[in-house]
A and B are shown apart, each in its own frame.
Chain A
Amino acid sequence: MKKLLAVVLAICMLGTVLAGCGEKGSDLTEDVTPSSSAQVSSSGDQANATGAKGDVTIWYYWETEGHQKALDHIIEEFNNSQSDIKVGAKYVPFADFKKQLSIGAAADELPDLVILDNPDHASYAAMGIFADITGKFDVSTYYPGPVNSCTLNGKLYGVPFGSNDLVLFYNEDMLKAAGQTVPTTWDELLTVAKACTTDTVSGFAHCSLQNEEGTFNFLPWVWSTGATAYEINSEGGIKALTQVKKMVDEGAMTLEAINWTQGDTMNQFASGNLAMMINGTWQIPTMREMNLPFGWNVASIPQDKYQASGLGGENYAVIAGGNENAAVKFLEFATSRDTCLYMMNAMGYISSDSTIAEGQFDGDPIYQVFVDEMQYANARGPLPEWPQISDAISLAFNEVMTGGDPAEAAAKAQATIDSIIKK
C-alpha cells in the first residue's frame, strides 16, 4: 500500500513538470477588480459617438507604488467622467509579463489594453495580438523614436506612453572626497571610478543582467563608438566590450552588477555602496522621496566618439479582438494634454508628445539633463526577433565581464545576430 502511494506520488510529480507551466495563466483574466471603487454616478454623460462601451482591462508592470497610484488615479478620473466604459487595471510583474502575454495569446485570454516595454512591441505586433490603429490616432506631434517602436510594416500598432533615457548618476560627496570631477570620457570614467573605490564602495556600475534590462544599459557603450546594436563584431563593438572588461578587471566597475536589476543598482547607489551608476529617468521621483543623506547629481553618459544614450519607455497597445473601441476611447483620454502631463510628472517620464515635452521640466536642472539627452538616445529594434538579438548582446558583455575575450565574444554574438537578421 505504501508503495502504491509512492508510485502515485512519483507520477504526480512528473505531471507537475509540464502542467506547472499552464496553471498560472488562467486566473489572470478573472477577478480583475476595477482599480477605482467609485461607482459611476456622474450625471453629465457624454454622448458616445462610436458606441464604445463595456469593460476595459489593462495589464501593466510598474512595480513602484507611485506609478501604480498615478495609473489608478487617471483610471478613476476616466471612469467618473462617463458611464459607458469601465476601466480596470491589473498588475503583472515585469518578470512574468512576457510570459503572461504569450500564454494569453495562445489561450486567447488577453486584456483589452496593455502597457508594455517598447523593445517588445514589434514582437507582439508581429504575433498579431495588437490591433492596427493606423488612422484612429494622431501621432504626428510625437517624437519619431517612440512612434517607430509602435510601428511595424508601416502600420501603427500602438501609442507611445512616455519615454525615458539613461544618464550618469554620481554621488557628489564621494567624488569630492576623492578629489575628482564629473567624468565625460571613458578614460576619465575609469580614473574617477577607481579613485572612488574603497573596501565597501564600488566606483561604478550599471545593471548588467543577461537580459533586456542589461542590454539596454550596455548599448550606450556600443553606440558611443559609432557602431549599431547589430554590429557587435566591428571595431566599435569590440572596443566597447574591451572597455567594459577593463573597467571590471581594474576594479572600477563591480562584477556584482551582473545580478543587479536597475532597481537594485539604484538601491546600491542610494545606500552609499556605489559612487556612480548609469540609470534612468524613472528613478528620479523615488530618489527624491528618499531624501538621500548625500548630494547627488546627473550628467550625460561619458563618451567615446559620440554622445549616446538608450531610449526606453512604454507603449500602449490595443489588443486585437478585445474591446477595441472602448480601449481607444480611454487612450484618447490618457494621452490628452492634462492627463498625460499628470502621468509623466508622477512617474518621472518624458512625454513622447513633443508639444507636451517642451516645457515639461522648466526650471528642473536634473530632468533637463534627461530631456537634453533625449536627442542622443537610440531606440532598440523595432524587430520582432529583437529579444534574440538582445540575448546575444547581453551574453557577450556578460562573457567579457566574467573574464572572456572581447574579440571571441563579439564574433560569437555577431554569428547569432547575423543568423537572425538573414532569416
Chain B
Amino acid sequence: MKKVKRFFRHDNAGLLFVLPAVIYMLVFVGYPILSNIFLSFQNVTVNNLVRGEKKFIGLGNYKVLFKDAVFIKSLTNTVFFTVSCLVIQFIIGFALALFFNKKFTFSKPVRGILMIPWMMPMTVTALIFKFMFQSKVGILNYILMNLGLISENIDWLTKPHTAMFAVIATNIWIGIPFNMILISTGLTSIPEELYESAAIDGAGSFKKFTKITLPLMRSTIESILVLGFIYTFKVYDLVYVMTSGGPVNSTHLLSTYSYKLSFDNFEYSLGSSVANVLLVILLLVGILYLKITMKGEEKNEQ
C-alpha cells in the first residue's frame, strides 16, 4: 500500500495515462517489428512458411543481401532518391513559401490550390505521371518536341537511366506542397518588427533572409528535413505503380525490393531483412532527430 502511495506521490500518475498508448504501440508497432527481426534471422521460404522447421541462420540473410547486386542498387537508389527529392522539394518549397508570404490578392487561395498534389492519393498521381511520361503518346515528349528541345522521343520510363529521374520528378511534385506549407507556417511566426527594424538599419532583402529568416527558421527547417527524409525514404506505392522497380531493376527502392522478395519470389526471410535495413536507417535518422529537438528544447529552457 505504501509503495502504491509512493508511486503516485510525484508525477508517476502520468504513467498510467500513457499506458493505453504504450500497450497499443507494443501490440501494433512493437510486435510486428520484433517478429520481422526474428524472421530475418531465419531461413523462411516457400517450403517452410507453414510447416517444416524454421532454422535460425544468424546473419546468413544479410550476408546474401550485401552480395546481391540488386540490393546494393536499391540501397543506393533509395539514398539517391531521398536526397535529390529532399533537396529540390525543400528549395522549391521554400521559394514558394517566401513568395506566398507576401501579401497580395489571391495569395491565400492560390497557396491553397497548390496543396492539391499533396492531397491526391499517391496511386492516382503515379498513374497520371506514368501516362504523361509515355514515349509515344505522353504529353511531356509532345511538349518538348514542339518546343524543339528534343528531336526524338525520350523513353522516360522504359530505359534504366531515365526511369529514376521520372520517378524522382513525380515525387518532387508531390512533396513541394508539404514543404511549402510547413515553411509558410514557420515564416508567419517571425515577428514583422524584426524586418522593420532591420530595414531601418539599412539591411537589404538578402541580408534580411540570411540574418533573420534562416536563423529563426532553424528548428522548423530541421523538422521538415527529418520528417521529409522519413517520408521519402519509405516511399513504396509511387514506384510500384509507375515502374514496379523496373526496367531491369533500375528503380527498385528498399521498400519495393523487400515486397518483391517476399511476395513475388516467396523469399520471406530475405524480404524481411531488406525491411530491417530500411528500419535501421530510419531509426538512426529518428534518433538524430530526437537529439536535435532535445537540444533545442534545452536551449529554450535556459
Q: Are A123 and B266 in contact (CB under 8 A)?
A: yes
Min C-beta distance of B176 to chain A, whole Å: 19
The chain B residue with its CB closest to the CB of A402 is B247
Per-residue CB contact flags for chain B residues 257-270 toward chain A (1 = under 8 Å, else 0) read 00100111111100
Q: Are A259 and B268 in contact (CB under 8 A)?
A: no
CA A401 to CA B160, docked complex, whole Å: 11
Q: Are B227 and A9 in contact (CB under 8 A)?
A: yes
Q: Which residues of A contact B52 (CB under 8 A)?
A: 128
CA A10 to CA B117, docked complex, whole Å: 22
Per-residue CB contact flags for chain A residues 92-105 toward chain B (1 = under 8 Å, else 0) read 00000011001001
22 contacts between A and B (CB under 8 A): A3-B223, A3-B296, A6-B223, A10-B289, A10-B290, A13-B231, A14-B286, A15-B29, A16-B234, A17-B255, A17-B278, A17-B279, A18-B29, A22-B32, A105-B50, A128-B52, A200-B137, A255-B135, A259-B158, A388-B267, A398-B246, A402-B248
A258 is an interface residue with CB less than 8 A from chain B = yes
Given A10-B226, A211-B244, A391-B264, list of 17 further CB < 8 A pairs? A14-B230, A14-B279, A14-B282, A17-B279, A18-B29, A18-B33, A19-B29, A105-B50, A106-B49, A106-B268, A127-B51, A200-B136, A200-B137, A209-B244, A210-B244, A395-B249, A399-B248
Residues of A within 8 A of B (CB): 3, 6-7, 9-11, 13-19, 21-22, 98-99, 102, 105-106, 123-124, 126-129, 200, 202, 209-211, 254-256, 258-259, 273, 384-385, 387-388, 391, 395, 398-399, 401-404
The chain A residue with its CB closest to the CB of B245 is A210
Given A10-B226, A10-B227, A126-B47, A258–B247 Cβ distance below 8 Å? yes
Q: Which residues of B contact A399 (CB under 8 A)?
A: 248
B25 is an interface residue with CB less than 8 A from chain A = yes
The chain A residue with its CB closest to the CB of B133 is A259
Q: Are B297 and A3 in contact (CB under 8 A)?
A: yes
Residues of B within 8 A of A (CB): 25, 28-29, 32-33, 36, 46-47, 49-52, 130, 134-137, 155, 157-160, 219, 223, 226-227, 230-231, 234, 243-249, 255, 259, 262-268, 275, 278-279, 282-283, 286, 289-290, 293, 296-297
Q: Are B293 and A6 in contact (CB under 8 A)?
A: yes
Of B134, B160, B266, which one neighbours A102 at CB under 8 angstroms?
B266
Q: Are A388 and B265 in contact (CB under 8 A)?
A: yes
Q: Are B49 and A402 in contact (CB under 8 A)?
A: no
The chain A residue with its CB closest to the CB of B296 is A3
Given A256-B135, A391-B264, A15–B46 Cβ distance below 8 Å? no
CA A361 to CA B36, docked complex, whole Å: 51
Q: Are B265 and A391 in contact (CB under 8 A)?
A: yes
Min C-beta distance of B20 to chain A, whole Å: 14
Q: Which residues of B contact A128 (CB under 8 A)?
A: 50-52
Q: Are B266 and A402 in contact (CB under 8 A)?
A: no
Q: Which residues of B contact A3 (CB under 8 A)?
A: 219, 223, 293, 296-297
Interface centre among B28, B266, B267, B279 (most CB of A within 10 A): B266
Of A11, A16, A98, A259, which one neighbours B130 at CB under 8 angstroms?
A259
Given A18-B36, A211-B264, A256–B134 Cβ distance below 8 Å? yes
Given A18-B275, A128-B50, A10–B230 Cβ distance below 8 Å? yes
Of B230, B249, B268, B293, which one neighbours A13 at CB under 8 angstroms?
B230
The chain A residue with its CB closest to the CB of B264 is A387
Q: Which residues of B contact A98 (CB under 8 A)?
A: 263-264
Given A18-B32, A127-B47, A388-B265, A398–B279 Cβ distance below 8 Å? no
Of B136, B249, B265, B286, which one neighbours A11 at CB under 8 angstroms?
B286
Q: Which residues of B contact A11 (CB under 8 A)?
A: 286
Min C-beta distance of B67 to chain A, whole Å: 12
CA A255 to CA B153, docked complex, whole Å: 12
Q: Are A10 and B286 in contact (CB under 8 A)?
A: yes
Q: How many A-B pairs with Cβ below 8 Å?
A: 139
Q: Which residues of A contact B293 (CB under 8 A)?
A: 3, 6-7
The chain B residue with its CB closest to the CB of A99 is B263
Q: Are B46 and A384 in contact (CB under 8 A)?
A: yes
CA A327 to CA B243, docked complex, whole Å: 38
CA A15 to CA B263, docked complex, whole Å: 21
Q: Which residues of A contact B29 (CB under 8 A)?
A: 15, 18-19
Min C-beta distance of B41 to chain A, whole Å: 16
Helix, strand, loop or mixed for chain A's interface?
A: helix
Given A3-B296, A15-B29, A256–B136 Cβ distance below 8 Å? yes
Q: Are A17 and B157 in contact (CB under 8 A)?
A: no
CA A22 to CA B29, docked complex, whole Å: 10
Q: Which residues of B contact A403 (CB under 8 A)?
A: 159
Q: Which residues of A contact B234 (CB under 8 A)?
A: 13, 16-17
CA A399 to CA B130, docked complex, whole Å: 21
Min C-beta distance of A249 to chain B, whole Å: 13
The chain A residue with its CB closest to the CB of B242 is A259
Q: Which residues of B contact A273 (CB under 8 A)?
A: 136-137
CA A210 to CA B245, docked complex, whole Å: 9
Min C-beta distance of B17 to chain A, whole Å: 14
Q: Are A385 and B46 in contact (CB under 8 A)?
A: yes
Given A15-B29, A102-B262, A387-B264, A254–B136 Cβ distance below 8 Å? yes
CA A123 to CA B263, docked complex, whole Å: 12
CA A254 to CA B249, docked complex, whole Å: 19
Q: Which residues of B contact A14 (CB under 8 A)?
A: 230, 279, 282-283, 286
Give the 6 A-B CB pairs with smallest separation, nearest first. A15-B29, A99-B263, A128-B51, A210-B246, A255-B158, A128-B50
Interface centre among A10, A13, A22 (most CB of B within 10 A): A10
Q: Are B36 and A258 in contact (CB under 8 A)?
A: no
Q: Are A18 and B247 in contact (CB under 8 A)?
A: no
Q: Which residues of A contact B219 (CB under 8 A)?
A: 3
Q: Which residues of B contact A200 (CB under 8 A)?
A: 136-137
Q: Which residues of B contact A258 (CB under 8 A)?
A: 158, 246-247
Q: Are A21 and B248 in contact (CB under 8 A)?
A: no
CA A362 to CA B169, docked complex, whole Å: 54
Of B136, B157, B263, which one neighbours A259 at CB under 8 angstroms?
B157
CA A391 to CA B252, docked complex, whole Å: 14
Given A18-B32, A258-B158, A398-B246, A13–B227 Cβ distance below 8 Å? yes
The chain B residue with its CB closest to the CB of A97 is B263
CA A256 to CA B266, docked complex, whole Å: 28
Q: Are A384 and B47 in contact (CB under 8 A)?
A: yes
Given A13-B227, A402-B159, A403-B159, A19–B28 Cβ distance below 8 Å? yes
The chain B residue with its CB closest to the CB of A254 is B136
